[in-house]
Structure 1
């Protein structure tokens, strides 16, 4: 039994939800719909999650607006109109603010409140959730809607604290305007956020120094206004489109060509790639069925994109530096850009390769690379996130016997269906490790997970059951399945944030479910249909069930 002593003054709810982004807002809506009392804690000063914090210039979603929205309300679908094909951060935040107001969710959300601790009490069968501000609440159910990309990672560079200019991270951008006009700016990182930010800074800054460790594959967005007949037609066919995405591989509306890239002629391959290129963005994934499982097939797509980069960048030497090499297309999420490669044709933009000669330190004047100092006024770290597990690792989560989630996940995260963890009853994860989550359209994954969790809670309440807990055997089997599926693709061995390789010291584990959104949905539906196989359901808080062998390996074992 956990020996943790509860505070005297606590409030009681049926459920606590941590996070008020897309996942937390929808989870709140669904649980309230079931008549439950709910408290949501959100660290930010507003709703929005990722889209509250990532307000850097150029921030934009890489999934089309029509697909990156809720599907639960016909009224919401009919009254909201997106202005562009790919939504900007500002518009996404307005949308989520509208949802919070439209469905009267704000009274149940406590902003500017970071959860510090969540402890399961075996005597009461309830979770005690405490915040850094001193709040303490008890709840039967605890849902972690903390987001997959919510903890920015800043490299530990000697001397950064002595830098005399300003520095920022794209994932924790200030609410006030940050101006670059006439300044010398360093952008460190060329992943998705860097690729979106760099063209904007290039137009304003006197000089821009781009520090690149690994070049990314990026496809033009071909963004455009979303109004008119096209928008009306898209909304009319939304239900059909969403149903397709729910059962697709990536949760996207793009059709997958069932052919192998190696089974067609070179001319036909090029036609397919050209067509996907013109469609823009993530549609490139669907060009051929074997791009993520066959290295030779993947190489044909990489070669096509290399040629497009060479066409866009005038300086052949710079173009070669911008060619992604050493990993397959899709091994890191394909980026979606507007004018990224063209920015390097500007005289004020300079590319510094730090793959073999990393940044040694930051002097009071700027980054130092191989003995060369780059004096700048502003440094922007576009260095990504401690993905998938970062937010949960910063909360003290304790289950049966006081066992810490951080200890259970010391060698890498484990879960059952990415929704639950053995030894932690009534704790649910939205888009947790071991689920498809960030491998496609995360909104489709969020809706699935929230609906599944809500229906599981309803199942318990209808049968007067108190607890739902993943068994160790089910968790082990799921971990093995996730590992086998990842191993059948080209993704598992790539040094990416999918595997935690971007954060020094983090266990290397492929954290997503590569079997696809549709297959994941089918498996989860089967578990529920069969009475929640793999879960122990109990009418009272049992105190004898073992926590499980916490020495078991992570998702890749």
Structure 2
């Protein structure tokens, strides 16, 4: 057996969270190593290179706040960054902070085992290498494990099969091709308008229609970015105070604004009609009771259908594009010409509720509605969110308990989204029960990393070797997070979302986010730390 490499902290993943953790731990003087299964930094933003991939948070806020130098030196070009720019930003940060010397790429962790006698984790890679560390930080991402469908005949297709979660580094030539896209979640909504402009023919296979928020993304005007940079201190302070960690315009801030709007159920017919006349699909949804009252939510869906019908000329297509699940139970999607795309002569919508896919054939896709000849099939079929990355690693904690078995039996439990009971010294960045899924991911991860670094500092100062979440504290936290969403449409049975695991066959359903907002979450985490890490046992 090969000799194990030893470090104080081993970080799994070199995306936004992993790079931040490495930088902060090195500042503390902790000997840290990051292992990354890909060949470069970027995490989710490295592999999701599909056409149209873009963030739904403004660029100046979807960025690290720990370095004034990086804030001033990096030049964003658009109000909301596209994938190539985010990938370039993370490479810039890795170079600017000289992070690569402590990252091992092309290194896939397949097992992690905790030794109770030595209070250390042993990690093994697919290539047979071993690492030993007292502490592990799982910076494995919340949307890093794509769901690839199990459709009969996929391997028989004679054309090109593409998966949005592992798009070719050099791109794909889609010009003049007959292209089929399976999936109309966030990825599909972003990609379909772009692909439609290149394809000879585009066939969209829709399983579940999406609610979208029309959005204008634009280049920064001359001098605009410099003015924003001059106010970065003010912007960061506003971020910290904002429930979703994004003080400026974002999909989440639009949803929050809806909470203070008048209720739909008490609006007159004229008020409803005027809302759609003046604001289109946003007017259909912009009511204060849609989050809490399923009847109001259904009324909003009807208005939404009226708004879509004013954009999409074909009546049958317009009707098929209207969602049936409650608005807000899935992550909001920013939309740049999505519905207008279905007015193009080269675009066809196949509503799979009217007849499912039977199989992929050598020449295309066979459905109960007929056969569609294709040159390219793009699978945009979502993610096993929050828990997927760690569930695919053989993680064994105290007494050899397997983490994926815990989550299969109990649901995606954790304490604060930071640790799982029974798995000492294993920190999770943005684990289930954290605000990550409903916030600006970067603002939320920085809070997590800061908390972990402060915790390790405390343990050093007080001579502790282990920290482990207590089962009772974990149970109470999950009860708290569950109670927050109980009065809302977020847990309605008709919603199969990655928020609740309903998009993954066999995954136990549980809403996985913390919805009271980042400031309240930060307050609770700080309170727990100030009390000597209540809810944890330190050894």
Instruction: Compute the TM-score of the two structures, normalised by the length of structure 2.
Output: 0.93
Is the alpha carbon distance of 1:26 and 1:184 closer, same or farther for their aligned partners in structure 2, counting shifts above 3 Å?
same
Q: Distance in 2 between matches of 1:284 and 1:151?
A: 34
| Residue pair 1:273, 1:301 contacting (<8 A) in 2 also | no
| Number of the residue aligned with 1:346 | 344
Offset at 1:111? Answer: 0.9
1:390 aligns with 2:383: no
1:527 aligns with 2:528: yes
Query: What's the CA shift string for 1:501-543, capped at 9, x where partnerless?
Result: 21222222211122222222221111112111000011xxxxx
1:424 aligns with 2:418: no
1:125 aligns with 2:126: no
| Number of the residue aligned with 1:44 | 38
1:242 aligns with 2:236: yes
Q: Distance in 2 between matches of 1:492 and 1:57?
A: 32
1:26-425 residue pairs with structure 2 within 5 A? 26-253=20-247, 254=249, 256-257=256-257, 259-262=260-263, 290-299=289-298, 301-325=300-324, 327-370=325-368, 372-411=370-409, 412-425=411-424
Offset at 1:419? Answer: 0.5
Offset at 1:262? Answer: 1.5
Offset at 1:45? Answer: 1.2
Q: How many residues align?
A: 527
Offset at 1:421? Answer: 0.8
Query: What's the CA shift string for 1:177-206, capped at 9, x where partnerless?
Result: 211111111000011111111111111111
Q: Distance in 1 between matches of 2:59 and 2:296?
A: 30
| Residue pair 1:83, 1:227 contacting (<8 A) in 2 also | no
Offset at 1:242? Answer: 2.8
| Number of the residue aligned with 1:481 | 480
| Residue pair 1:416, 1:479 contacting (<8 A) in 2 also | yes
Query: What's the CA shift string for 1:113-133, capped at 9, x where partnerless?
Result: 111111111111111111112
Query: What's the CA shift string for 1:341-378, capped at 9, x where partnerless?
Result: 11111111000001242211111111111161111011
Offset at 1:241? Answer: 2.8
Give the aligned CA root-mean-square deviation in angstroms: 2.3
| Residue pair 2:12, 2:18 contacting (<8 A) in 1 also | yes
The gaps in structure 2 that reach 5 residues or longer are none
Q: Distance in 2 between matches of 1:319 and 1:357?
A: 17
| Residue pair 2:272, 2:284 contacting (<8 A) in 1 also | no
Query: What's the CA shift string for 1:147-167, capped at 9, x where partnerless?
Result: 011111111011111111111
Q: Distance in 2 between matches of 1:12 and 1:284?
A: 57
Q: Distance in 1 between matches of 2:294 and 2:231?
A: 36
| Number of the residue aligned with 1:508 | 509
Is the alpha carbon distance of 1:246 and 1:284 closer, same or farther for their aligned partners in structure 2, counting shifts above 3 Å?
farther
Query: What's the CA shift string for 1:391-412, capped at 9, x where partnerless?
Result: 1111111111111111111132
| Residue pair 1:261, 1:297 contacting (<8 A) in 2 also | no
Q: Distance in 2 between matches of 1:30 and 1:274?
A: 51
Instruction: Compute the TM-score of the two structures, normalised by the length of structure 1.
Output: 0.90
Aligned partner of residue 536 in structure 1, secondary structure:
strand
Q: Distance in 1 between matches of 2:103 and 2:465?
A: 25
Offset at 1:319? Answer: 1.1
| Residue pair 1:17, 1:38 contacting (<8 A) in 2 also | yes
Offset at 1:106? Answer: 0.3
| Residue pair 1:293, 1:489 contacting (<8 A) in 2 also | yes
Q: Distance in 2 between matches of 1:321 and 1:151?
A: 29
Q: Distance in 1 between matches of 2:199 and 2:153?
A: 24
Q: Distance in 1 between matches of 2:367 and 2:231?
A: 53
Query: What's the CA shift string for 1:25-51, capped at 9, x where partnerless?
Result: 001111111001111111111100000
Offset at 1:289? Answer: 5.3
Query: What's the CA shift string for 1:220-268, capped at 9, x where partnerless?
Result: 2201112424323332333333333333333332564463422885577
The gaps in structure 1 that reach 5 residues or longer are 1-6, 539-557
Moved more, 52-61 or 509-518: 509-518
| Number of the residue aligned with 2:466 | 467
Q: Distance in 2 between matches of 1:334 and 1:489?
A: 16
Q: Distance in 1 between matches of 2:140 and 2:84?
A: 21
| Number of the residue aligned with 2:440 | 441
| Residue pair 1:247, 1:519 contacting (<8 A) in 2 also | no
Aligned partner of residue 61 in structure 2, secondary structure:
coil
Q: Distance in 2 between matches of 1:292 and 1:192?
A: 20
Offset at 1:213? Answer: 0.7
| Residue pair 1:31, 1:454 contacting (<8 A) in 2 also | yes
Offset at 1:299? Answer: 4.7
Offset at 1:307? Answer: 3.6
